[in-house]
Amino acid sequence: MIANILSIAGSDPSGGAGIQADLKTFAAHGTYGMAVVTALTAQNTKGVYGVQIVPAGFVADQIRAVFDDVRVDAVKIGMIANAEIAETVADILSRQPGVPIVLDPVMIAKGGASLLAEQAVAALRDRLLPLATVLTPNLPEAAALLGEPEARDRHTMAEQAEALRARGARAVLVKGGHLPEDESPDVLADPAGLTWLEGRRVQTSNTHGTGCTLSSAIAAELGKGNDVVAAVRTAKLYLASAIHRSGELDVGSGHGPVHHLHATS
């Protein structure tokens, strides 16, 4: 049986991030992808130039339409945009017990543009985070959620992963791509303890949508029935290959996308 995976996120018309990246990733993992749009963005590989937020009531209508008709095996939450949408999504998903949820706390685009209103951070932290099977913040996002300085070493990464898990998420994957070293380690905190997932840093500018892609790959693997550690390991291997083969694409002149469908080319 093919798993059905739902993305609740913003749209990227250039195709490298957001729901476009999510749907490609779901397909690459042999699952059926669905998408609820929370925001329309005007963006490309060089930056974000505008955002139009979808009314929270219509976000709710989209989610209900999916759950009323389709079996949902996992959910990935990306760009939320404001507190009202965060509250709305939390209200609906809290009535869907047993569905794995991967929360990617999208706050800042690669070009530096803010993608999450400041007042929405608390709603995301207090309402959505406790519903998460896996929370996937990078270092700036983990720091923002905790109101702490950004981690600059592995010890602080681990501390922040545990602190975020204490707020209710079943597991927290803190991504170390912003660490000032040649390695790019991630740390997974779950009920069994800490698991370090090592990774060699790839020298490339093609990093647009990496967070969206990783979280979607985790959601796809959870939807297929894999446990959290196995899902995260598989997703990391997939993303590493997608980054490594991103040079085969010719998309834009800024932070290019990863090659989501590299296995088919």
Interior CA angle at 80 toward 230 and 110, to 5°? 75
Q: Which of 88, 207, 223, 236 is catalytic?
A: 207
User: Does the annotation mark 175 as catalytic?
Assistant: yes
Overall pTM > 0.85:
yes
Residue carrying the six token digits 């060699």:
200
Q: Please identify which of the residues 176, 211, 223, 256 carries the catalytic annotation.
A: 211
Active site residue 33: no
Please confirm, yes or no, whether 38 is among the known catalytic residues.
no
Q: In 150-176, which positions are buried (b, 16+ CB within 10 angstroms) versus exposed (e)?
A: bbeebebbbbbbebbbeeebbbbbbbb
How far apart are the C-alpha atoms of 168 and 176, rounded to whole Å? 21
Q: How far apart are CA 157 and CA 209, in angstroms?
A: 22
Among 38, 212, 213, 236, the one annotated catalytic = 212
Catalytic residue among 175, 213, 236, 256: 175
What Å distances lie between residue 251 and 9, 26, 41, 265, CA to CA? 22, 21, 18, 16
Buried b (16+ CB within 10 A) or exposed e, 224-233: bebebeebbb
Using CA atoms, how far apart are residues 227 and 191, in angstroms rounded to an integer? 12
Tokens of 223: 């939807």
Cβ atoms within 10 Å of 146's Cβ, excluding its own = 16
Q: Confirm whether 156 is a catalytic residue.
A: no
User: Does 25 qualify as catalytic in the annotation?
Assistant: no
209 tagged catalytic: yes
Taking only the tens of pLDDT, the chain with its 265 residues reads: 999 999 999 999 999 999 999 999 999 999 999 999 999 999 999 988 999 999 999 999 999 999 999 999 999 999 998 999 999 999 999 999 999 999 999 876 555 556 566 778 889 999 999 999 999 999 999 998 999 999 999 999 999 999 999 999 999 999 987 676 667 799 999 999 999 998 776 768 777 889 999 999 999 999 999 999 999 999 999 998 888 898 889 898 889 898 998 988 8
